[in-house]
Chain A
Amino acid sequence: MCKSQAIFAAQDFIRKSFMNTKSISLLILSFILTTSLVLAQDDTNASGQLIPAGDEVMEQFTIRQAVSSEIALISMVTITPSGQQETREFFSIYYRDQEEISYLIRMISPEAVRGVSLLGKGMDGKMSDQFLYLTDLGRVSKVRDTGRSVYFLASDFTYEDLINEIPDHFEYQRLADEVVQGVNCFKIKATPVEEKVKSGYTGRMLYISKDKDYNLLKAEFFGEGDKLIKTFEAFDYHAAGEEIRTMRPKRAVMVNHDKKTKTILTILGDRINFNLDPAMLTPEGIAKWSGEQDEALLSALKGE
């Protein structure tokens, strides 16, 4: 098999694996990006539209998220309107088992909130269920999807920002390219298809680098009246994968124009494609999660 055939085969495999689901995890999950397999080249079709079109860019973007599992230790600094800061740390875990996708946010500091968890469970092409576990209540509760546009973790991320995005639920329109952080970017306007999804946003503007990595450099979130509510930016992308090249940002900032607050995420450590017990990523699993398991994950992150 020649190199180009190998690339094609790999690409096809990823397509089969992920395009059906077309899952795009934005924000925290946007740290999970895959190796670039194709280079973007602009052209126009017969009707004068830019090629690749918005959905094609998003498709390529999706392809680059192809990992089976990933864990990241993230430091989150929230900044209040009057400038005070508060720091929290959590694990972000992504795990794919066949068609089932799981993700988990598990707080590990400060001590008072250690163990508070948000678990997402979803199948390809379907909305995720979310489960919340508060240690002091000792109970796992399912989160109603009607309340997903509210903020979570005292941050500027909403529950909606954490769930798998189903591309069928959105229209992606490619607009004129723009330069972000000195990088030429695709500018994609994502508009929710109202009858399919209840989104807290009337639309988003995604800025994806036009290089081979398709890195999401910036995302803008709009509310009623197309008012800019939040701006997300990711910085310092670096190759994190071992077997295949996977790009990860070191740092990301969400600025909330509406609330005048800001959240800064810093990746303290991450690891992809490692073995994880799927039982941990269940409602029962997060309730039984122990300190030893946290230690084990920390060790895994250190490569021990």
Chain B
Amino acid sequence: MKKLLLIGYKKPWLTLLSIVSITLAALYPASRVHFDVTGDGLMPDSSPELDQYQKVRQTFGSDEIAGVYISDFRLTSREKLVKLGNLHKALQKLSSVQRIESLFSLPDVKLDEGWIDFSSLLHPLPESQEIINQKIDDALTNPIFLRNVISPDAQATMLVVYLEDEEKYKESRQETYNQIAAALKDYEQYFEKIYQVGGPALEVQIYDFIKNDQLVILSLSVLALFILLALMQRSWVAGLIPLVNAGFATVWTLGAMSLLGVPVNMLNYIFPVLVLIIGATEDVHLIHEFRTQAGKKPLDKHSIELMKAVSDRMMLALLLTAITTIFGFSATGISSLGVLQDFGFATSAGMVARFVMTVFLVPALLKLWQPRARSSSKSSENQENKTKSSFIAEWIVRFMLPRPYLLLLVVTVTMISTFYFIPKIHMSNDLMSFVGEDTLLVKQVNEAAERLSGTKVLYLTLYGEEGDFRKPEELRRVERLTEYLRKLPEVNSVTSFTDFIGRTHERLNEKPELTMSYSRLPNKASTLEQYLLFFNSGDLQRYVSGDFSKLNLTIRCHENDSSRLREFANELREVIGNGSFGSIHFTLTGKALIVAEAVDSVIWTQVVSLGSMAVLLFFISSGLFLSFRCGLSSLLTNSVPVAAVFGIMGGAGIPLNVGTCMVAAVTLGIAIDDTLHLLVRFNRKLTDLKSEKAAVKAALEKEMGPVVATSIALAGGFMVLSLASFEPVRQFGYLSAIVILLALVTDLLLTPVLFGSMRLVTLWDVLDLKLRKALILRSPFFKGLTSWQAKRLILVSDLEEYKAGTQIIKTGDTGDKMYVVLSGRLQVSKPGPEGAIRLATLRMGDVFGETAVIAQCLRTADIIADTDIRLLMLDREALGRLRKFSPFLASQIFLNLTSILGRRLADTSERLRQITA
């Protein structure tokens, strides 16, 4: 694994050429990546509700609709209506427009002085203003028109444009928007307000947001990162390398997305920024380490040995941080929502590509660039930073380590406050609210909704037997339900099949009263059948199925709060389901409702992504440091800031949505990196310094700078996202920044407290330790242990190395340590009148000094190194630690020690017996 970094360093041009070639190959698919700006990704990719909705759409037709809102004080004047009629015609000519519902096209059967008139309300447009006024008055009493195509004050109207649902048109909704916009341009001068609302307008808005955000956020990130890194590293090349890497990684990712059909959507469009910022930290670590090693090593700074040294120190950290980060992002994709799946793919693929760049391209560029070595601790700035780090480290060790309960108290209080606020978090999944209340489009939609009807369309579908809904008695029940719905405050308008029949019946019976009550459906089935002859089945498709077994009520309301929309839907289901309108089999669906009800998927994503991330981190930490306690502690350290952010969300009224549900998993994956860096450093220092406190202090001194710098850089990077146009992205940005900063605090304070008393061994240490099998087989101390256990035992203990001739034990000294010979040879002797009497030779695997560990006693012999030696040293403290953290291992060791001591006793007894005999 460590050799990976050497590949790019050994063959820089080949590496560079390969990466550039792959990038060029990826450019073409990358340029053709698909943009999903529909908001369909906010719906679960499969669910019973979605199946139901699709069935409803299949039966009652597509709801691919654009709207043109027009308002004018003199809207109903003939002069304005002529223009409106011309606009209707102009729009009808557009290739992507299937048909238009408006004052000029909706059916309006009427009987007038013996004449039956099937013409639409205003088509052809009457010559007389008086007749026009009469017709408008008619429309205001007709639920097919009122609030659907004309406002109650008759000063606003909507042209409801049904779009072709063929794929070729679906894929070019922006083209449709532009066509409609071009048509509207000619009419802007005639009306006070005229604009588009609906699907294409929203899609164009989302597309513009994505485009503008890329321009602003990405440019800002690139510029800020370049300046920051160039200043920090005192080299513009050092600032440029992360940008180049991020650029290549972005092209690769876009290419992969294009080839696998993953679109760019309203969430994952930020992946280049994330790749840039998060990936840059690893590049900086690598470049920094390279330059540090170049300054330290008395080697040719561009020799392969230099990169080997860098690799030895960095590869493990690089790999671990890459794994945790990639998993953190991919965990967000474990969701039934397409928008999150696409985010998970784009960001994790981006991080994989970024890791490849860091491992292969950075060494290649370092070789080609040949940076200046970093002067170690000579500059006054370095000295100053070190002093600050030392001061804080000293404070932590002196003040915090002795008072762990103080910190735990603070954590407990924080957690209690957090858990108080967490239940107050509300859910949100609503496209319009994501776009933001301040945008022009949302303001326009709100205005149109206020004067006409809201954009939230619910379909209340009633089910019966074939032909049921051509029976007058059934339709009267539907009519009662329709009237009930119209009285609900949440409802702007309801359109029902009964409106068409009721209105026709009313008009053909020459009943002049114009009321909103339509209880005058025909009594006779034959009358109803005869009215049905007036309608093409296509006109009624949206309201009743062809076999009259299903009937669809179209309910329009204006509720941007998805929770409220859900509540309303549930209330409605309860009222209809409790039999108030007879026994009705029904479903209530609609795109807006499915999106609103997808908050369950958001919660599920939150639970699964956070849960899986926590499990992964636990196992990584436990595995890396071979200790479940360590796994739990590192998880706790990083869970505190994540939990705190949930508290902040609850307290500040920030909803759980597709953006905020990613914060926990993503930041957990990133925040753990600093913890791992600290622990790895702590482990190394502990090996060197043999003292936990000293190791904590040294580790903090060494890591505080990079940890603080990367945390601030990451938090700054996430904060840049708060400039995004989409609310969930903004919230994701600043909440992630908060977690990263809180994690910095817990890393610096909580980590030393939790780990300060642990003797950590890394998996890598164990794997790297070369232990001869003969040692385990020969030594009574390692009896019954596997090679793995023996290595762990060696690593938690202290290793001591001595030169030949060194005296290890002196007769008469008081000892408390025992030793196991790992390599080399020692002589055991006793001082005699004629010089030392050689008693024995100790070799690999032999144990000595064990009695002193059990009971402090005087040494009875001299032991001197005959060759250079390596010893495993254990004292009571070490054994106590072993018993505490590795009870199984300790029990075996104690058994072995007992056995060794027993044999010693037996030997001594035998010797005594021989002397006395």
Is B508 interfacial (CB 8 A cutoff)?
A: yes
Is A155 interfacial (CB 8 A cutoff)?
A: yes
Asked if A258 contacts B546 (CB within 8 A), the reply is no
Return chain A residues, CB-CB under 8 Å to B89. 224
Contact of A147 among B114, B117, B537 (CB under 8 A): B117
A-B contact count (CB 8 A): 127
Return chain A residues, CB-CB under 8 Å to B530. 112-113, 116, 134-137
Asked if B118 contacts A113 (CB within 8 A), the reply is no
Given known A-B contacts A143-B116, A146-B124, A116 and B533 have beta carbons under 8 A apart: yes
The segment from B136-144, B311-319, B490-498, B520-528 that touches chain A is: B520-528
Asked if A82 contacts B529 (CB within 8 A), the reply is no
How far is A258 from B547 in the complex, measured between Cα atoms in Å? Answer: 20
Contact of A113 among B529, B541, B547 (CB under 8 A): B529
What is the distance, in angstroms, from B134's C-beta to the closest C-beta of chain A?
A: 15
What is the distance, in angstroms, from A194's C-beta to the closest C-beta of chain B?
A: 12
Tell me which residues from 86 to 109 in chain A have a Cβ below 8 Å from any Cβ of chain B.
Answer: 86, 107
Chain B CB within 10 Å — which of A83, A146, A152, A258 has the most? Answer: A146
Is B92 interfacial (CB 8 A cutoff)?
A: yes
Q: Which residue of B lies closest to A83 (CB)?
A: B546
Q: Which residue of B lies closest to A114 (CB)?
A: B526
What is the distance, in angstroms, from A74's C-beta to the closest C-beta of chain B?
A: 15
Tell me which residues from 67 to 83 in chain A have a Cβ below 8 Å from any Cβ of chain B.
Answer: 78-83
Is B572 interfacial (CB 8 A cutoff)?
A: no
Is B535 interfacial (CB 8 A cutoff)?
A: yes
Return chain A residues, CB-CB under 8 Å to B117. 143-144, 146-147
How far is A168 from B93 in the complex, measured between Cα atoms in Å? Answer: 27
Asked if B116 contacts A112 (CB within 8 A), the reply is no
Return chain B residues, CB-CB under 8 Å to A149. 119
Return chain B residues, CB-CB under 8 Å to A113. 526, 529-530, 533
Q: Which residue of A lies closest to B509 (CB)?
A: A137
The segment from B94-102, B247-255, B280-288 that touches chain A is: B94-102
The 8 A CB mask of B545-587 against A (1 = contact, 0 = none) is: 1110000000000000000000000000000000000000000
What is the distance, in angstroms, from A60's C-beta to the closest C-beta of chain B?
A: 33
Asked if A112 contacts B118 (CB within 8 A), the reply is no
**What bracket does the count of chain B residues touching chain A fall in?**
35 or more
Given known A-B contacts A80-B541, A112-B529, A261-B536, A143 and B524 have beta carbons under 8 A apart: no
Return chain A residues, CB-CB under 8 Å to B95. 225, 227
How far is A146 from B116 in the complex, measured between Cα atoms in Å? Answer: 10
Asked if A256 contacts B92 (CB within 8 A), the reply is no
How far is A152 from B547 in the complex, measured between Cα atoms in Å? Answer: 19
What is the distance, in angstroms, from A221's C-beta to the closest C-beta of chain B?
A: 14
Given known A-B contacts A141-B114, A260-B538, A150 and B119 have beta carbons under 8 A apart: yes
How far is A256 from B563 in the complex, measured between Cα atoms in Å? Answer: 42
Return chain A residues, CB-CB under 8 Å to B538. 80-81, 256, 258-261
Q: Which residue of B lies closest to A144 (CB)?
A: B117
How far is A79 from B89 in the complex, measured between Cα atoms in Å? Answer: 28
What is the distance, in angstroms, from B568's C-beta to the closest C-beta of chain A?
A: 29
How far is A81 from B165 in the complex, measured between Cα atoms in Å? Answer: 13
Return chain A residues, CB-CB under 8 Å to B46. none
What is the distance, in angstroms, from A195's C-beta to the closest C-beta of chain B?
A: 14
Contact of A82 among B94, B99, B541 (CB under 8 A): B541
Given known A-B contacts A150-B107, A154-B535, A256-B538, A80 and B546 have beta carbons under 8 A apart: yes
Contact of A84 among B99, B522, B533, B546 (CB under 8 A): B546
How far is A149 from B114 in the complex, measured between Cα atoms in Å? Answer: 20
How far is A144 from B119 in the complex, measured between Cα atoms in Å? Answer: 8
Asked if B98 contacts A223 (CB within 8 A), the reply is no
Asked if B526 contacts A147 (CB within 8 A), the reply is no
Asked if B524 contacts A142 (CB within 8 A), the reply is no
Asked if B59 contacts A82 (CB within 8 A), the reply is yes
Q: Which residue of A lies closest to B528 (CB)?
A: A112
Contact of A134 among B107, B120, B508 (CB under 8 A): B508
Asked if A141 contacts B116 (CB within 8 A), the reply is yes
Tell me which residues from 131 to 162 in chain A have a Cβ below 8 Å from any Cβ of chain B.
Answer: 132, 134-137, 141-144, 146-156, 159
Is B61 interfacial (CB 8 A cutoff)?
A: yes
Asked if A151 contacts B61 (CB within 8 A), the reply is no
Q: Which residue of A lies closest to B550 (CB)?
A: A82
Given known A-B contacts A82-B541, A136-B530, A156 and B536 have beta carbons under 8 A apart: yes
Asked if B529 contacts A256 (CB within 8 A), the reply is no
Return chain B residues, CB-CB under 8 Å to A251. none
Is A285 interfacial (CB 8 A cutoff)?
A: no
Return chain A residues, CB-CB under 8 Å to B115. 141-144
How far is A227 from B537 in the complex, measured between Cα atoms in Å? Answer: 20
Q: Which residue of A lies closest to B107 (CB)?
A: A150
How far is A111 from B529 in the complex, measured between Cα atoms in Å? Answer: 10
Contact of A256 among B116, B509, B536 (CB under 8 A): B536
Q: Which residue of A lies closest to B548 (CB)?
A: A84
Is B481 interfacial (CB 8 A cutoff)?
A: no
Is A110 interfacial (CB 8 A cutoff)?
A: yes
Asked if B119 contacts A81 (CB within 8 A), the reply is no
Is B111 interfacial (CB 8 A cutoff)?
A: yes
Tell me which residues from 78 to 112 in chain B have a Cβ below 8 Å from any Cβ of chain A.
Answer: 89, 92-95, 98-99, 107, 111-112
Is A198 interfacial (CB 8 A cutoff)?
A: yes
Asked if B541 contacts A81 (CB within 8 A), the reply is yes
Q: Which residue of A lies closest to B99 (CB)?
A: A258
Return chain A residues, CB-CB under 8 Å to B526. 111-113, 135-136
Contact of A259 among B111, B527, B539, B547 (CB under 8 A): B539
Asked if A143 contacts B118 (CB within 8 A), the reply is yes
How far is A211 from B115 in the complex, measured between Cα atoms in Å? Answer: 44
Given known A-B contacts A136-B526, A136-B530, A256-B536, A82 and B119 have beta carbons under 8 A apart: no
Chain A CB within 10 Å — which of B58, B526, B535, B545 has the most? Answer: B526
Chain A CB within 10 Å — which of B508, B509, B546 has the most? Answer: B546
Return chain B residues, CB-CB under 8 Å to A85. 546
Is B216 interfacial (CB 8 A cutoff)?
A: no
Asked if A141 contacts B111 (CB within 8 A), the reply is yes
What is the distance, in angstroms, from B6's C-beta to the closest C-beta of chain A?
A: 65
Contact of A261 among B107, B119, B124, B537 (CB under 8 A): B537
Q: Which residue of B lies closest to A115 (CB)?
A: B530
Contact of A151 among B93, B509, B536, B546 (CB under 8 A): B536
How far is A79 from B95 in the complex, measured between Cα atoms in Å? Answer: 25
Return chain B residues, CB-CB under 8 Å to A223. 92
Asked if B537 contacts A78 (CB within 8 A), the reply is yes
Q: Which residue of A lies closest to B118 (CB)?
A: A147
Asked if A153 contacts B92 (CB within 8 A), the reply is no
How far is A155 from B538 in the complex, measured between Cα atoms in Å? Answer: 10
Return chain A residues, CB-CB under 8 Å to B99. 258-259
Contact of B537 among A107, A137, A154 (CB under 8 A): A154
What is the distance, in angstroms, from B836's C-beta to the closest C-beta of chain A?
A: 107
Return chain A residues, CB-CB under 8 Å to B527. 134, 136-137
The 8 A CB mask of B210-229 against A (1 = contact, 0 = none) is: 00000000000000000000
Return chain A residues, CB-CB under 8 Å to B132. none
How far is A131 from B422 in the complex, measured between Cα atoms in Å? Answer: 71
What is the distance, in angstroms, from B527's C-beta to the closest C-beta of chain A?
A: 4
Return chain A residues, CB-CB under 8 Å to B107. 150
Given known A-B contacts A110-B529, A141-B111, A225 and B94 have beta carbons under 8 A apart: yes
Q: Which residue of A lies closest to B527 (CB)?
A: A136
How far is A201 from B526 in the complex, measured between Cα atoms in Å? Answer: 33
Asked if B537 contacts A80 (CB within 8 A), the reply is yes
How far is A198 from B124 in the complex, measured between Cα atoms in Å? Answer: 9
Interface pairs (10), CB distance under 8 Å: A136-B524, A144-B115, A154-B537, A223-B92, A224-B89, A224-B92, A224-B93, A258-B99, A259-B537, A259-B538
Given contacts A82-B545, A116-B533, 5 further A-B contacts (CB under 8 A): A135-B530, A137-B509, A144-B117, A155-B536, A159-B118
* Residues in B lying within 8 Å of A, measured CB to CB: 58-59, 61, 89, 92-95, 98-99, 107, 111-112, 114-120, 124, 508-509, 522, 524-527, 529-530, 532-539, 541, 545-547
Top 4 nearest A-B pairs (CB, nearest first) are A259-B538, A225-B93, A84-B546, A80-B546
* Residues in A lying within 8 Å of B, measured CB to CB: 78-86, 107, 110-113, 116, 132, 134-137, 141-144, 146-156, 159, 198, 223-227, 256, 258-261
